[in-house]
Amino acid sequence: MALADPTRRAIVARLARGDATVNELAEPFAMSLPAVSKHLKVLERCGLISRSRQAQFRPCHLEGEALDAMMSWIDDNRRIWRERFDKLDAHLRDIQGRGADE
């Protein structure tokens, strides 16, 4: 997942404060420009960031709506498994408490 990587999360956090160029984004990381560009491509491919076509330095822009969609998907998905496992936990206690496993 695009946000599974700590560097990409840091890039997203930086862009939440405003648009930035690749050079500006690379600054806080001990990382080559091509390495940072690779992360930006992942973020761009899934629609989390966009880059202007015409500007010389092609500043990166965070797509807030896409980020919200992704975060809510992750939250919902996590909650489904949490609630499912809460129920499984109760079910396992229930069937074992009765001394039978059927």
For residues 98 and 64, give the distance between their C-alpha atoms in angstroms, rounded to a whole number. 51
By CB under 8 A, is residue 99 in contact with other proteins? Answer: no
By CB under 8 A, is residue 38 in contact with other proteins? Answer: no
Give the one residue of 32, 37, 52, 77 binding other proteins; rule: CB under 8 A.
77
For residues 96 and 62, give the distance between their C-alpha atoms in angstroms, rounded to a whole number. 51
Give the one residue of 24, 87, 98, 99 binding other proteins; rule: CB under 8 A.
87
Contacts of 42 (CB under 8 A, 6+ apart): 2, 5, 8
Q: Measured from the CB atom, is 27 or 41 closer to other proteins?
A: 41
- Which span sits near other proteins by CB under 8 A: 10-18, 19-27, 52-60, 73-81? 73-81
Phi, psi of 66 (to 5 degrees): -65, -40
